[in-house]
C-alpha cells in the first residue's frame, strides 16, 4: 500500500511539472502579453496540453518532461511502445480534466483510481500503463 501511495504521489508530481511547464508560458504569453481573451487561452491551453503529451511521449523516450524527471514512461498494456493513436486518446482524456466541474470530477475519479488501483482513467482509455523507466526493456527490432 505504501508503495502504491508513493507511486501515485510521484505521478501527480510529474503531472504538476508538465502542467506548470506548459501553463506558465501559455498564460503569460497569450493572456498577459498578447491580450487574448481568457476563454480562448483556456481552450488553447487544453489543446496544447494534449498535443504536448502526445508529441513528448512519441518522440521523447515515452515520457513527458515531468515523467522523464521522475524516471517514469508511458508504454502500452503489453509493455511495448504505445501507439500514437492510443496516446492521443489518453492525452485528450487527460486534458479533459482541465474543464471546470465535469472535468474536475473526472480528474478526481482518476486520482482515486490511481491510489486505489494504480491506474488512471486516461490510462484505461489509452490502453497504456506508466512504468519506471529502469524497468523498461525495449522490444527487439527484426
- Supply the pTM of this predicted model: 0.87
What distance lies between CA 9 and its chain's CA centroid? 14
* Dihedral sign computed on CA atoms, order 105, 126, 46, 64: positive
Question: pLDDT tens digits for 98-116?
Answer: 999 999 999 999 999 999 9
Retrieve residue 137's grid coordinates. Answer: 526493456
Grid cell of 76 as nine digits: 502500452
34 found inside a domain: yes
Q: Which residues span the domain enclosing 55?
A: 2-134
Alpha helices in 27-141, H assignment, sequence order: 38-59, 65-70, 84-96, 102-117, 121-126
Residue 83 forms part of a structural domain:
yes
The answer as to whether 139 is a domain residue is no
Asked whether residue 33 is domain-assigned, the answer is: yes
pLDDT band at 140 (very low <50, low <70, confident <90, very high): low
Q: Is residue 142 part of a domain?
A: no
Q: What is the pLDDT of residues 33-56, one digit of tens each?
A: 788 887 788 888 899 999 999 999
CA distance 131 to 79: 9
For residue 92, is it within any domain? yes
Structurally, the chain folds into a number of domains equal to: 1
Which residue, among 6, 1, 47, has the nearest Cα to 26 in the 3D structure?
Answer: 47
Amino acid at each position: 500500500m505504501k508503495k502504491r501511495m508513493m507511486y501515485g504521489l510521484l505521478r501527480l508530481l510529474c503531472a504538476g511539472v508538465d502542467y506548470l511547464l506548459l501553463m506558465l508560458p501559455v498564460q503569460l504569453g497569450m493572456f498577459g502579453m498578447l491580450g487574448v481573451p481568457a476563454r480562448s487561452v483556456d481552450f488553447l491551453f487544453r489543446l496544447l496540453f494534449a498535443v504536448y503529451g502526445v508529441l513528448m511521449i512519441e518522440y521523447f523516450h515515452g515520457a513527458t518532461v515531468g515523467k522523464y524527471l521522475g524516471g517514469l514512461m508511458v508504454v502500452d498494456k503489453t509493455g511495448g511502445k504505445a501507439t500514437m493513436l492510443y496516446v492521443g486518446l489518453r492525452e485528450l482524456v487527460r486534458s479533459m480534466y482541465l474543464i471546470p466541474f465535469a472535468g474536475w470530477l473526472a480528474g478526481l475519479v482518476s486520482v482515486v483510481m490511481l491510489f486505489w488501483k494504480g491506474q488512471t482513467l486516461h490510462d484505461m482509455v489509452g490502453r497504456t500503463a506508466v512504468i519506471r523507466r529502469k524497468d523498461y526493456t525495449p522490444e527487439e527490432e527484426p
